[in-house]
Structure 1
Amino acid sequence: MSDALKPCAAGAVSTAAAGNKPCKPHARTRRVMVGTVPVGGGAPVAVQSMLNAPADDVEANLAQIEALAEAGCEIVRMAIPRRNCLDAFEAVCAASPLPVVADIHFDARIAIEAARRGAAKLRINPGNIGGLEATREVIAAARAAGIPIRIGVNAGSLDDALAARDDLTLPEKLAASAVEYVRFFEDECDFRDIVVSAKAHDVQTTIDTYRLLASALPQVPLHIGVTEAGTAFQGIIKSACGLGVLLEEGIGDTMRISLTDDPVVEVRACWTLLGSLDLRRRVPELISCPTCGRCQVNLIGLAREVEERLATVSKPVKVAVMGCVVNGPGEAADADIGVACGAGSGVVFSHGKIVRKVQEAEIVSALMEELENL
């Protein structure tokens, strides 16, 4: 194992095996402020997404930010691929209701300018930003602006010598790379306003890498995610598997579920995962049975319609759509509102108590009416 993976602080857990579950580091990480959003130091896990509108289109990016904010996004990241996009970035930062993170690769000059133009945080990969001297200049710009930096590493930009080591696994290489950069930031540049990420596109590498980081860097807030996870169906499953394990272990101060989809879907997925783990609640939880031969209504259609209607609701409530009296209201007695369906009808209930009986065509509207009254 690389010496870089030895714990950076007294009391850190040994990383002799990536599969070892470390002690929960979340509460002991340093607090970093991204605009007005606290990250680390026991703050709630912050939900992030990334804009995918053209980087030079101010109106399109602001419209996307408004939609993300409404969905519960707390930090938004914007790529700045070219210097001629900086004017648009500055305009977006000035009008955005959310703190905007500047995502820069390959050109330290863009990162330096973004810090001066309103970025709430910089996201760079020191491995492709132009070397350590260029990184020093970026750090100086962030210090002058009073903003943090996310150190983001990935397998494609590992140091050649580190990448060539056959005695290290990929998680060990990723973690070692991140640790080396943290030591450069902290020890050589005296800059500690940092967040670290080391993403991979497969679940096990993600879990192993972040376990190593949590043990080696117990003081540093971690941004977690499975990168390039895929389209919504596959990507949400992969992200839930990887991030669910990490969050349950107390690893992760801010998160993104990266999807080839509308960024709003990413935010909804994050909140659903956090709610499933009882970490944070903002969106409704839909409980619905898988149906069987007892079901006498189109429950699949009903459940999908309810799910669509709930997409715009920000109450952290449990809503049950059950196919028969066997599963509801008894088995869904803890639901804030629900329906148990019969032959062409349904009984609406709240916390196990019957509220009203309605015809099948009225079930969805009745549920939403009762939900508004809660």
Structure 2
Amino acid sequence: MENIKDYVIKLGKNSKEAFKIISKAPTKQKNYALSLIAKYLSENADYIIAENKKDIEFTRSKGRPESLVDRVMLNEKRIKGIIESINTVILLDDPVGKVVYSSRRPNGMLVNKVRVPIGTILMIYEARPNVTVDAATLILKSGNTGILRGGTESYHSNIAIMSLISKALEDAGLPREVIQYVDKTEHEVVDELLVLDQYIDVVIPRGGEGLIKSVVEKAKMPVLRQEKGVCHVYVDKSADKEMAERITVNSKAQRPSVCNAAETLLIHKDYPYKKELLEALIRSNVKLKGCKETIKIISGIEEAKEEDYYKEYLDYIMNVKIVSSTEEAIEHIRKYSSGHTEAIVTRDYFEANKFVSEIDSSTVMINASTRFTDGGEFGLGAEIGISTHKFHARGPMGLMELTTDKWIVYGEGQIRE
């Protein structure tokens, strides 16, 4: 029986061999493989949903919260959305070979900086099976190879999806090892993969704090990571009443189980519709935790503790704090934010500019929901994650972020004096 170390080494070697082919594959062939993935997902939607039901039953049998069940769930609408994102990626420019800098030097040399694939990307993620498709799609189009390790909650869904991806690769004339899935569920497999830096060039963890912390501590290769999403909405005193309600409710309640859902609402003390805004959230089944000033507005609200402002609830729970100025809102966000997404609702141009210039998060929204921080919504087709760090990428990561730089110099016999 193959032991775990031999298993992961085989994955690594297979990826390196497949990289020799996919890194040179023409755009037309990569797009054809993507079109086949979309086709096979569409033709086998019932099969995927049937396998997904096994994962939903397993997740519920473990007593996991419904917010996690929602992350696991696939239905016709979500599969249609996955297929649409693949078709969008097909239409995007191939970043491989793109010249991002060019200079003719005084000695006649031509210096170019071009984008090239990174290599083998290890993706470790939890719960959401759509990540399997997003990751495979972007890794393939950007000329990389991928080793994917999803969560046990989505095991059957991921295996079903990967069988279709493998078939699409082969039918497009590409090695099925371009995208490999780790079908062993032992935790030791991840530990072994994280020290396989001779084969794996970068690891991208996507999940809870525990997963990300573990990967950062154990990985020998660079980690491109996304921290938790403690996102904020700040309603300025000049905000339009209807706009403030729509944006705040959407940011929290449209889908609270995802990282771009807002966790804290900041309201300027002079905003005249504070009570109406809070009531709109309550009508949307949001449980509020508020500061002392918030509790004075609506009785029965639980008082927010200091540690609550650091929490990523991923649920119908929201902190509320009344602030005296935009400056106080900015200071609050600086202290408690995870650097993901912050939004301001205002009709004041100068307050909006102040907020944008002084907030140091990957994405800042002006009069728009935090829920828009997403690769698909930003026109990237899909995303492999949302980086809250500043190297090598920040914010939603798409095709371009899965490439790196290569300098190419054209000379005619020049030597350095």
Which TM-score applies when normalising by structure 2? Answer: 0.24
More helix by share: 2
